[in-house]
Amino acid sequence: MQPLDRRSFVRFAAALAGTAALTEAAPASWLRPTVRPRFRRDPFLMGVASGDPDATSVVLWTRLVPEPFAPDGGMGKDSVRVTWELGEDELVRKVVQSGTTLATPELGHSVHVEVQNLQPDRHYWFRFRAGDAESPIGRTRTLPAADTMPKAARFAVTSCQNWEQGLFTAYTQMRNDDPDLVFHLGDYIYEYEAGRNGKVRTHHGKEIESLDDYRMRHAQYRSDPLLQAMHAECPWFVTWDDHEVDNNYANDVSEQKNVGKAAFLRRRAAGYQAYYEAMPLRLRSKPDGADMLLYRRASYGQLAELFVLDTRQYRSDQPNDDKRGPLRGEALAAEQTLLGAAQRRWLERGLGASRARWNVLAQQVMMACAATAKDQAGEPLYSMDQWPGYFAERQAVLRHCQQQKVANPIVLTGDIHSNWCNELRLDDRRSEQPVVATEFVATSLSSGGDGNDGEKQRNELMANNACVKFHNRQRGYLLCTVDAAQWRTDYVVMDRVEAPGGTASVRASFVVADGEPRVQTA
């Protein structure tokens, strides 16, 4: 251990002053000496990642955690200098930018470097050093320049990766697919206690509630080598759903009725902070107490405008006590909101102004109103945690797309642990209405275990819901291949996730032609 003396600290702070990564007041821990530790264990156990790219910048991420199940990650109370290098070659020999930043205990010794002034639409490779340790090399990519029409893009869409219920084998195939970007649509971790629904491996500890708990859970998940390898392969746009904090929570309302709002917001603050620390997010997303700005947009040249939504933080409580219910009463109430007023205004303004060929809503819960059960009187019942419980807002967003002639709205969805392909209308029960948007729902990566291809259920759902064009309950992810004329979604499924060696195949493929929101079988 070699603490910096006062003079070198001042010099160091001066050297940092010009870097874009540090645009806010120095945290209190800067007043303590930083150290250049000798690590007894590799501090890069969580690997490296990159995210939130635009045409000229991207976030490079790591978090120093030599001991994943120690509350402080085994890092103690000192801040640590971390240097980074970004190069044009896969061994990072031709370094084009480099710098130094501080990993502080306040942020769990995470590092979020926003590298600026990059060339558009190209790969870069990066790595970190801390003390005597060196990270693995990660690859990242900038987006195409705003005024260009890229020839093509490939996006992977994943969600719901329960550690206990399945292996993350699907990421091996995703890596072979070589996407430009990955969207993670939530349930990146699950909050449950060890052994709650284990099939293949076990969570560490009890149900997570404190900041230490959430940090350790993220460290456990990110120790998965396949997940790590996929993060090291290309930039991700991540957004959360419920399990990053608590099953089916809504804004400040816990799933548990006996937990008050103040207590729940303390838990939410812990979950949000650990999420920020664990993800390649920009400084703008750094949490402020129990609030964290996660919705954002990016332009994939003129090909696609990407709107990444947050349907948990601002939503009103689920109608019908969050049990499946009919499309009546509270589910139709004008004040029911999933987005909250500010996000909705931002989204509608952004959609109205977009000139992109495809307008992508990367979000959490299913937008199609698909009845999944009937009550005793034969009335169809819908999930109240999803958009049907917020019917008026759903209709307003779709009507906005229609009236503003938003080009080719595509909704990408997670949460529901099954594959769906849906055509969205203002009211999905009225098949005579025109289709306004297309929804591709990604199944879980591992949640629920092996799953099945359930032909009977598929046929029933499709017979009862004109909007549903495909359904299946295997595990996997979506691969979207996009050009100016066509959007194609391949449903990649695994034959098993409850044992090693699962193999991937494409179960179904659908295309949407420019200007025609109805899906066709590819």
For residue 114, state whether it binds Fe ion (rule: CB under 5 A): no
Calpha distance 100→123 (Å, rounded): 22
Buried b / exposed e along 47-78 (16+ C-beta atoms within 10 A): bbbbbbbbbebbbbbbbbbbbbeeeebbbeeb
User: Taking the complex as a whole, how short is the minimal distance between the CB of residue 417 and Fe ion, in angstroms?
Assistant: 6
Single residue of 242, 277, 393, 439 touching Ca ion by CB under 5 A: 242
User: Taking the complex as a whole, how short is the minimal distance between the CB of residue 187 and Fe ion, in angstroms?
Assistant: 3
Q: Determine contact, residues 219/68, Cβ cutoff 8 Å.
A: yes
Phi-psi region of 413 (alpha: psi -120 to 50; beta: other; left: phi over 0): beta
Site for Fe ion in 433-492 (CB under 5 A): 447
User: Taking the complex as a whole, how short is the minimal distance between the CB of residue 241 and Ca ion, in angstroms?
Assistant: 4
Which range touches Ca ion (CB under 5 A), out of 210-218, 262-270, 415-423, 439-447?
415-423
Which range touches Ca ion (CB under 5 A), out of 68-76, 85-93, 235-243, 311-319?
235-243
Calpha distance 214→197 (Å, rounded): 19
Q: Determine contact, residues 15/200, Cβ cutoff 8 Å.
A: no
Alpha helices, DSSP H, located in 128-224:
170-177, 211-222
Which two structure tokens, joined as six digits, stand for 402?
């229609």
Site for Fe ion in 125-154 (CB under 5 A): none
Between residues 109 and 417, which has the closer beta carbon with respect to Fe ion?
A: 417
For residue 120, give the nearest of 100, 98, 148, 95 by alpha carbon: 148
Q: Parallel, antiparallel, or unpaired: how do β-strands 181-184 and 153-158 relate?
A: parallel
Which partner in Ca ion, Fe ion, none is near 242 (CB below 5 to 8 A by kind)? Ca ion
Single residue of 54, 180, 415, 423 touching Ca ion by CB under 5 A: 415
For residue 53, give the nearest of 282, 373, 230 by alpha carbon: 282
For residue 187, state whether it binds Fe ion (rule: CB under 5 A): yes
- How far, rounded to the nearest angstrom, does the alpha carbon of residue 359 sit from its chain's CA centroid? 18
Q: Parallel, antiparallel, or unpaired: how do β-strands 358-362 and 409-413 relate?
A: parallel
For residue 160, state whether it binds Fe ion (rule: CB under 5 A): yes
Burial class (CB in 10 A: 0-12, 13-18, 19+), 40: exposed
Q: Parallel, antiparallel, or unpaired: how do β-strands 451-452 and 486-494 relate?
A: unpaired
Helix (H, G, I), strand (E, B) or coil at 202: coil
Between residues 142 and 447, which has the closer beta carbon with respect to Fe ion?
A: 447
Site for Ca ion in 173-192 (CB under 5 A): 187
Site for Fe ion in 494-513 (CB under 5 A): none
Between residues 159 and 465, which has the closer beta carbon with respect to Fe ion?
A: 159
Between residues 187 and 246, which has the closer beta carbon with respect to Ca ion?
A: 187
Between residues 245 and 482, which has the closer beta carbon with respect to Ca ion?
A: 245
User: Taking the complex as a whole, how short is the minimal distance between the CB of residue 184 and Ca ion, in angstroms?
Assistant: 12
Number of residues engaging Ca ion in binding (CB under 5 A): 4
For residue 241, state whether it binds Ca ion (rule: CB under 5 A): yes
For residue 246, state whether it binds Fe ion (rule: CB under 5 A): no
For residue 242, state whether it binds Fe ion (rule: CB under 5 A): no
Calpha distance 446→250 (Å, rounded): 24
For residue 416, state whether it binds Fe ion (rule: CB under 5 A): no
Calpha distance 367→145 (Å, rounded): 31
User: Taking the complex as a whole, how short is the minimal distance between the CB of residue 296 and Fe ion, in angstroms?
Assistant: 22
User: Taking the complex as a whole, how short is the minimal distance between the CB of residue 162 and Fe ion, in angstroms?
Assistant: 7
Binding mask 197-236 for Fe ion (x = CB under 5 A): ----------------------------------------
Which partner in Ca ion, Fe ion, none is near 191 (CB below 5 to 8 A by kind)? none
Task: Point out which residues bind Fe ion (CB under 5 A).
Answer: 160, 187, 447
Task: Point out which residues bind Ca ion (CB under 5 A).
Answer: 187, 241-242, 415
